[in-house]
Structure 1
Amino acid sequence: MKVRFSLIMAIIGIVLASCGDDNDSEKWLTGKSQKFSINSNLRRETLPVLKARDVWTATVGYGTSDQGWLTLDKTEGEAGTVELTAFIAANTTKKYRSATVTVTCHKETVKFQFSQAGMTGGDEPKPSVSARVAKIEMTNFDREMNAVYEESLAFRYSGDVIVGADYHSRDKVALTESDVVVTIDRSQSGKCVYTMKETGMPDEVVNATLDDLKRIVSVGDMQMTYGVEGFLAKRTNGESTWLYDVDVKSNLFIVTTDKRLVYQFDPALPLRDDCNIDVNFIAMMTMTSRGMLKYAVLAEKGNFGKMLPYVIYKAASGKESYVFSPQIDSAKTLTSLDFAHRYNDLPYETQKRCVITYVD
């Protein structure tokens, strides 16, 4: 996963390297140590910039028995500016833990000390959810803005837990309709089974396996891999592989398979973080195909790792592009999202609209 650093940090590094005492020019490694005291949440930290006169290495030492929870974006480099980012996993225990990052050049070292608090109030993180999606409705339009295909998905709840959904689709051109009843079985630890029953058709059963962070690591024949920051990093079904690269600084989500697809998110439009459904994931899932809305039952918050916390506003690949126009209320709740599909060399576009209603 690529992490891009700002020019400002590079400038700060030059200033730090040049503002030391007169002996700094003779040192192999210059820069300042720092202590980080952080909470239990997953996060990343950009370390103060160092200056090395020769090749350098960076190592992580753990002061407690918990290992592997802090990683670096790189562990060695050539002479010049040393810019490092530390990725810190969420501490899902109640115990404090510590680690030290040591940068070394010709036996000279600079150390960065980390201490992370344990969780309070529970051994496992519980996602905060207060905005529950009741129904998602999607309408596809032709070039003249006539509705040609409609879908809806109404969620069923037991308390705050989604236990199923009712899907309906209507093709207004072919004059056909279909109904699917979705049930979710969460009775097995580390698993989730989605059963989709459509009248006159064999049941479709989708088995999902979850990791300790409740993320889907396999669904059907698809395997998922997550990066150190918690974003989806790779998806494969044995025949094809999709690589995901998140550029947090530029708010880009880049998917590479047989073609490169770049999603852009608008930092001026933040989403509330307590919604139980990842509406951006639904937009990415449904933008190219009809009939996909029934699979939105898999888009519960956290199922596929983290997403950028802003509204998606553009997707582009080759000569195609999608532009999204959201409606957001004063509580940062996304209530509708319009999709405009365009070919760069054609004068027209096709559109679809997604309307989201919530449980009162």
Structure 2
Amino acid sequence: MKKITLLMNVVFNLHTLQDIKCDNPHFELTKEIKYGSCVKCIYKCIRCKFTSPRVNLYDEIKTLNPGPNPGELTRMFASALQETPMGIKRGRFLMAAGLNIPPPTKRTLQKHSNVVANEIKELNDNDMKKKLETVKEVNRIRGVKEPSHIPVAIDTRYNSMHIVSTKKPGQNASQAISLACEQVTDHKFIVASVFHNKLCWTGAWLKGKGLDVTCPDGHAGTCTANVKPTTPLSEYLMGKEIGLQVDRQNVLIKYAVTDGDGRGAEGINDALKVLHPLWKVERQAHPIHLGRSQFRQSNSANFSLNMFPGSTREKKKQGQKVLSQDLKARCSLVFNEMWKENNGNVEKIKKMLT
């Protein structure tokens, strides 16, 4: 509404400054020019044939690039899509079908998304740096001897439900993200992140045209892939990158909590050992992972044929599963009670267990 009021004021002022006298102007919208999610308008007076110049109904983002400046609304829409799983295609469909708003073209949104993605990444990197400083400050307040030595928890997520593919050799996943969360504060801030990606739309398009292209960086323009298609996604390599990230902030990881089969802690240890030869990262296992590992070991153990009742193998397997769940529940209960009784003193718990 504010922009429309400004538009009409501009049109009236320009109409007043013209040489032809028109005491009773009557304006009509002559042309509406779509520019992404924004609109430019041209008005005309039907009494004196006055035509206004194009007036923007949006705020511009000043850039040094040649051509018209981008509109804030389109950039904001592309930024909002980055925080949702919809993507450009679904976002355009929502605008057209759900809101009855003419959506920007795919090309326009993709150009804005490329700019926004880089800006969001930079914001996230700066935010993680601030979070590390916050963690170090908390350690200083608590009187920790070395405030820059912190424990973290690491885990990796893949874009696949299964690691092994049934349709191709190697892994089924093509993307993986590894996060490191600090274990000093109750907020559990993310202090480092690594993203490995084998997908590149430009490379796939060029291959479809018959060109011999190998990503990453095997073609002109931006390549979104940073791992070769034949290279397996490795938690060890992502752990090394996490170690280098935190080291740039003068922070050392003392303990790394991972799941049973994760190699992220080993990667962090090897990365920091190159820079600090006497440093060692201790890998720890979370009780949840220990319980699951215990369940898997018990469920896959080879018992005698008469151990579990049942006339079929499936029924005996079900009995073994029930036993595994019972063992896990009992051990977890005992451990939790010992933890409460000893106020989390691991040394006392060890003595009681031995």
**Pairwise TM-score range, normalised by the shorter structure:** under 0.3
Scaled by the length of structure 1, the TM-score of the pair is 0.19
Name the structure with the higher helix share. Answer: 2
Name the structure with the higher strand share. Answer: 1
Scaled by the length of structure 2, the TM-score of the pair is 0.19
Determine which structure has more spread, i.e. the larger CA radius of gyration.
Answer: 2
